[in-house]
Amino acid sequence: MQDEPQKPYTEGPMHSTSPVIDPGLTFASVTDKISSIVLKRKTSLAWFFGFAISFALFQLMLLAMTNLLFVGIGLWGVNVPVAWGIDILNFVWWIGIGHAGTLISAILLLLRQRWRTSINRFAEAMTLFAVAQAGMYPIFHLGRPWLMYWLFPYPNTMGIWPQFRSPLMWDVFAVSTYATVSAMFWFVGLIPDFATLRDRARSKPFQILYGMLAMGWRGSARHWHRYEMAYLLLAGLATPLVLSVHTIVSFDFAVGIIPGWHATIFPPYFVAGAIYAGFAMVLLLTIPLRKFYGLEGFITMRHMHNMGKVMLATGLIVGYGYIMEAFFGWYSGNKYERFMIWNRMHGPYSLYYWALILCNIITPQFLWFKKLRSNLLVLWIISFIVSIGMWLERFVIVVTSLHRDFLPSSWGMYQPTQWDWAMFIGTIGFFFTLLFLFIRFLPMISIFEMRTILPEAEMEE
Amino acid sequence: MSDSDRHINFTLMRDHILALQDVETERGKKRYWRSLEELADTPLFREFVEREFPQQAEEWHDPIERRTFIKLMGASLALAGLSGCVFQPPEKIVPNVKQPEDQVPGKALFFATAAPLFGAAIPVLVRSNEGRPTKIEGNPDHPNNRPTDFPPEDPIRDPRGSSATDIFTQASILSLYDPDRSPTLTFREDIQTWTAFVGQMRSILDEQRPKQGVGIRFLTESIISPTLGALMKELQTALPQSKWHQYEPANRDNAFEGAKTAFGQPVNTTYRFDLAQRVLSLDCDFLAPAFPGYLRYSREFMARRRITETNKEMNRLYVVETTPSTTGATADHTWEVKPSEFAGLAQIIAFSVGVQAGTTRPLLGNEGPFAPGSSFDPNNSAGPVWIEALARDLQQHKGASIVLAGDNQPPFVHAIAHAMNNALGNVGKTVFYTDPLEVNPVSHRESLKDLIDDIDAGRVELLVIIGGNPVHNTPADLKLSPERLQKIAKQKDTNRIVHLSEFRDETSEWSHWHVPAAHYLESWGDTRSYDGTVSIVQPLILPLYDGKTAFELLAVFTEQYDRKPYDMVKTFWQTQRSGQGQTQAASATSNQTARPTATPAAQVTPAPAPSPSQDFETWWRQSVHDGFMANSAFQPKTFAMNSGWANQQTSPAQQSAAGTFELVFRTDPSIYDGRFANNGWLQELPKALTKVTWDNVAIVSPNSAQQIANARDNGGATKGREHYVPLVDIVNQQGQKITAPLWIMPGQPDGVVTLHLGYGRRLAGKVGTGNDGELVGFDAYPIRTSFEPWFTTGAKVTNTGRDYLLATTQLHFNLEDPKFSTEERDIVRSQTLEEFLHGTGEHAEEEKHGHPTLYPGYDYKDQAENAPNYAWGMAIDLNNCIGCNACTVACQSENNIPVVGKHEVVRSREMHWIRLDTYFRGFDPNHPEGVNFMPVPCMHCENAPCEPVCPVHATVHSAEGLNDMVYNRCVGTKYCSNNCPYKVRRFNFFLYQNWDQPTYQLMRNPEVSVRSRGVMEKCTYCVQRIQNAKIQAELEDRKVRDGEIVTACQAVCPTEAIVFGDVNDPHSRVSKLKESERNYSLLGELNTKPRTTYLSQLKNPNPEIKA
């Protein structure tokens, strides 16, 4: 910080008060600061502590899965009216969380929202890890998980294709494509930074490791040219996926004929919900990280405000969805739909419904106020509540729709068992395990992209 | 060898051997020797021989070695015990060099026999796959099962006889293969041989014979078998001082006492429901399996409710009952009455009908037993409006009505019923009297009392208990308690109690000798059905566990103690037929007579009745083959009615004191008196009205529940305590107490608690008692007395404050918010006959036109040029369903459906492919308008919602319209179940099937896959039966005939409510039913186009009685 602060970068006069990057940073200091987390800084005790807890929970997940494989999915609370429980709920929840990353990376890139740069790497990593958690559920919720490959269209001696009319089939493609493209996007974006780490790493193994990951990046103009092209193409590819994945996940329900599932409103409302949940999770993780690693210069209040606004907007869309669901339940005159809404509001799971309304409609209204948006604690708490709210939303959709459908004789209740929770908590542990490894071994903020938004990078054409 | 043994003094030996050459010496005479050492006869060798186990004997003195040795011995003893308990059924391997006649591998054979489970026997045909009995069907040739003649020109009448059975008969196949059955004869827990047993019995007999058997007591259940009865009489003659006692907890004492009152002697009453237009049931549950003749009665009763083109009349059933029953649910008018007021009410009805039942008009208490709203002044003359209307209706149908009294009602009510039938001119027209089925119809109460008195007086020296479980099920005041049994033993200080039973139960525990009983499918015998028709009980398999029959056990006490049951039965009937024909000694197994046909459906013509001139052997073989003896039913008799009894009403109606409850005891709808407690199919069968499985409950009305425990809902999900109900203490007048879970039953009379007997078995087996000795249900016997076996007053019911977990399959009785009632959902349709005959038929129009769609439907009629083009479909007539649950058990038996256990049922994971849904009508839980039953199998929707959502094509549609499930392809996403609006799909959440139990492997239907963990399953319309019929038809180059395919649920249905067939054929019975205006699709508005459709229920209420 010896250099004199230069003219800060601004997008326009209205943002002059909250820049996207601390005006005091330079090319060198950006690189230093971000790469030092990986290369130089002593790994803090807190990191070990957090990692240990996450890792222990990760082991719990492995235990739960092993037991499940040996004994059967009867260990979970699923039953006959409610054949999907918190397994599918968690799948949708994790997939939803995985939405913010790609949205931030791809859509905001295409929309030239430069503020995305500070958070995209982190958000993308979060996406990948969340999708990894999500991906496990559809496999382990099967009665015979070892046969999951039957869902893929591969040439086989049985001469059978999968059933292409089934939304679960679409899920297989949607989720696997999404996971692949997100991973590629993330990795391609990391290549220049791998090269930086390779050049700066002091121990041989890390030099070799990062060297391999950098794939021979030398920073030549040709490399940059190709990189830019590839990145842009991947962004173009990823953009429709953001919309398609959750649309297709929503089809799992919308295609079903169960009242509470069979609704055309599901695709847009699921996508909005996913973005809502994703941003909540990004905020939930960014706020403590930023503080802990002193990254306030990179992730500024501007980001916080923007993310808050996105949450407010998507939250309103989601709220609109709830209102429309209730409206159509009444307006359709369909006895089953009417009962479904009545049952959500007054049935045995009404508590979940009202908690959901509180979490997802009432809480985000605080985000209208700039003052509250600026208070990181408030923002963090709101994000936390929204994350819970989105979990409840899926609970309401999956469980309350199923538990009382058409024939009252078949009505039942659903009670998750300890193994349900073990698996869920276990995936949270796995998620954080990956996240801890990520922040320790990879640059959590894109170094080279950060440099492009420095004032230094301003070039007079 | 230890070192010392190896030290042989060769020099000395050589000397000795050399000495042998001197033949004069004593040693020289040795001709045979084992070794040189012996020949030499050294001292060392002598020592070696003297020590039996030289090595170990030496170590015996070594402190460390000895301990190791004992340890090893101990361990091997313990391990020997582990394997010693298992007694494998003997297996005989015989190469099938000469194929037995009639036996084609893979083709099932059917044998006729009869199921003597309790009371009157059910004639059955048992399917045998390669010598293993696998499924029980009714015997359609049996005279009791002949086709119903009414209504005339019924388009759906089945030309065959009925192959119906009940839940107990269906489930008895599981009992045959029950691994908990007692495998060996034991003496004080030790395994013993039959010979040892016979030896001891003979020695006791030798001691008793001079005393004419004065110390011998036989305790049996009711004996219906003629041969067994003759054997008992033979025993009585041989040992005149011995006594024969009979006790069964659910006996017919009241009926016989009532008959004695009316006629002076016990009679068996049979009814002709096909001729009855009005029926009044006085607490008689005649549409439930425990009633003798129920199969025929329900079929004929329901035939009279079938409306056809020509027949527009229905019979009318009035039920007055003390607790809701399936019969009451079926009735056109049901009144719930407190037991204490019942007799009085019956008297009033009788009086109104014209019976001179008492010189004075009976009076009733202030709390009249009448339906709310009725304006009856008890001191006024004729009774409430409905009684008058009812009486008028009965009187208008003289000679065409029936009045029945339930076995649990006191003799007085039975006498009244007889008098009413008499007054209505029904006797000889719809009501017939015959001799009792029982060989010796004694009062069980008196008989048991005699026995208990004798035991207490020390007069019993040998007690032989044949069947039954008296230690568990005798009444509290006449308990055959362990103390009493011990008293018998102490008296002589010998081993004097013998118990024959299939399981080591509570009675076996206190008996010295426990003799395992043979299942009826393993034994020869004979029995009678409700009208007296004799059936030979024919075994289908050698005893799996070395079981003995009652014949064999009782024969031990006769001179010819080793007679075989087959010979006894045959000889008995030979004597009966007074020496006709010649005796041919033939072995038991070779006399088994197989039916040549492959399926029961194919049997149309009954075998011709043998003429009397036929020799005995032919007649015998014919009777065994047919499963009954032709023309052996009891002839109706006429009895003169006694008079004067009506004045002496036995016990004046006891009014309950305020705050106390009246108790009603009933046998359990699923496990009867407890004898079926170890049968998983029955335990898991949801009881028709409560839907409770694996438990019995104390049934109370909503008002009483409020009063006792402030409970409004049965384990209501709304309370968040799903499946939990309050536990209450019930104390009878004598102060005995039991604790039971409280269950609210709409329609139960206020202040009455109904308890079902048979649960709480301490030693029933792994199913009936649970693994860690946890009891299944509660035992109601401790508060049941011999003098008030069915009803009692003055009981106190208090809430314990604790909760109890109940496994129910249907939580709500749908008397919730009217806005969302079942009626709005149009699930069960019920209308009156009047409404139907003058109805608009709008539903029918709706059903025919279907829903508009852009997609052309699949054409099931024109699939291929030469294809038979079938389209399978089912019609279920709700008008005929009596909620007997037989379809559920039959399906379980046919389709290898596993039992999941209580805790899985709590999690709603029961596996039944066809379930019985129960809906209460009306909005007042205390006074529901009625109950509707609805059997729900898979609907086989043409637009099946389950099919497109399966990602792996595991559930697909067949060209014949079946919704097929491909187990092998299923990966278990469960999406199909979620998307099924009828929720008929069942998922194997765990490995529910017991794959390891060898006996269960014998039991399973080889034509149906045994499903593994993680796959979905559901009703297939018994696709294996469809395929069998199609193969047969193809071989004969014809189409499958209508009625040739009978699904398991259809075959077992006593009222023919389920009809299956080809809906492409407009002449098939199922098509004709679907043509009916009453036909409707369940949830038809979803446009699933279900192949299973329902016919709405019709009620025929008396227009003079307002509901």
Instruction: Tell me, rounded to whole angstroms, the distance of Cα B648 from its chain centroid.
Output: 38
Encoded tokens for B928: 């529901």
**Is residue B915 within 8 angstroms of chain A, CB to CB?**
yes
Give the closest-approach CA distance of A176 to chain B in angstroms: 15
CA distances from B238 to A135, B427, B483, B667 (A): 81, 41, 30, 37
Encode pLDDT of A14-46 as tens digits: 444 566 677 777 777 777 777 777 777 777 888
The reply to whether ipTM tops 0.85 is: yes
Residue B815: name the closest of B728, B701, B980 by CA.
B701
Q: Are B905 and B809 in contact (CB under 8 A)?
A: yes
A368, A309 in Cβ contact below 8 A?
no
Q: What pLDDT score does B756 carry?
A: 94
- Spatial separation of the C-alpha atoms in residues B520 and B241, rounded to whole Å: 31
What pLDDT sits at residue B20? Answer: 64
In chain A, residues with a C-beta closer than 8 Å to the C-beta of B1016 are 143
pLDDT tens-digit series, residues B508-556: 988 889 999 999 999 999 999 998 999 999 999 988 888 899 999 999 9
Ranges of residues in chain B with a pLDDT under 70 are: 1-11, 19-67, 69, 75-94, 96, 356-384, 491-494, 578-614, 644-657, 713-721, 811-824, 840-850, 863-866, 1106-1107
Closest Cα in chain B, distance from residue A209 (Å): 40
Q: What is the pLDDT of residues A371-381, one digit of tens each?
A: 888 888 999 99
Interval A77-113: pLDDT, tens: 999 889 999 999 999 999 988 887 788 778 777 877 7
Q: Does any CB of chain A come closer than 8 Å to the CB of residue B1083?
A: yes
- Left if phi > 0, otherwise alpha if psi is -120 to 50, otherwise beta: which for B1012? beta
* Buried-state track A257-292, b at ≥16 Cβ within 10 A, e below 16: bbbbbbbeebbbbbbbbbbbbbbbbbbbbbbebbee
Q: Given this model, what pLDDT does residue B1021 score?
A: 94
- CA B158, B159, B163, B165 dihedral sign is positive
Cβ–Cβ gap A160/B904 under 8 Å: no
Interface contact flag, B983 A402, Cβ < 8 Å:
no
For the record, the structure tokens of A103 come out as 């949205």
**B508 contacts: CB under 8 Å, gap ≥ 6:** B182, B499, B501, B514, B763
Give the separation between CA B942 and CA A211, rounded to whole angstroms.
Answer: 61
Closest CA–CA distance from residue A191 to any residue of chain B (Å)? 38
What one-character DSSP code corresponds to residue A34?
A: H
pLDDT band with cut points at 50, 70 and 90 for residue A335: confident
Mutation target to probe the B interface, by most B beta carbons within 10 A, among A334, A337, A409, A410 is: A409
A255 to chain B: closest CA residue:
B949
- What is the Cα–Cα distance from B1059 to B876, expressed in whole angstroms? 6
Residue of B nearest to A158 (CA): B969
- Return residues 972-991 of B near A (CB < 8 Å): 972-975, 977-979, 981-983, 985-991
Query: Is there a contact between B778 and B737 (Cβ–Cβ < 8 Å)?
Result: no
What kind and span of H or E run contains B754? strand B752-757
Check: CB of residue B1097 under 8 Å from CB of residue B829.
yes
Please answer whether residues B435 and B638 qualify as being in contact, where contact means their C-beta atoms are separated by less than 8 angstroms: no
Least confident of A116-125, A391-400, B837-846: B837-846
Of B812, B945, B986, the CB nearest to A411: B812
- Cβ neighbors of B849 (< 8 A, separation 6 or more) are none
Nearest-Cα distance to chain A for B942, in Å, is: 15
- Residues of B numbered 701-740 whose beta carbons fall under 8 angstroms of chain A's beta carbons: which are they? 717-718, 720, 722
Spell out the residues 6+ positions from residue B466 whose beta carbon is closer than 8 angstroms to its own. B218, B219, B220, B221, B500, B550, B553, B554
Within 360-419 of B, beta carbons closer than 8 Å to A belong to: none
User: For residue A411, which residues of chain B lie inside 8 Å, CB to CB?
Assistant: 717, 810-812
Six-digit token string for A124: 């993308």
User: In angstroms, rounded to a whole number, what is the distance separating the alpha carbons of residues B519 and B124?
Assistant: 15
* Angstrom distance (rounded) from CA B992 to CA B977: 18
CA-nearest of B925, B1107, B1103, B929 to B374 is B1107
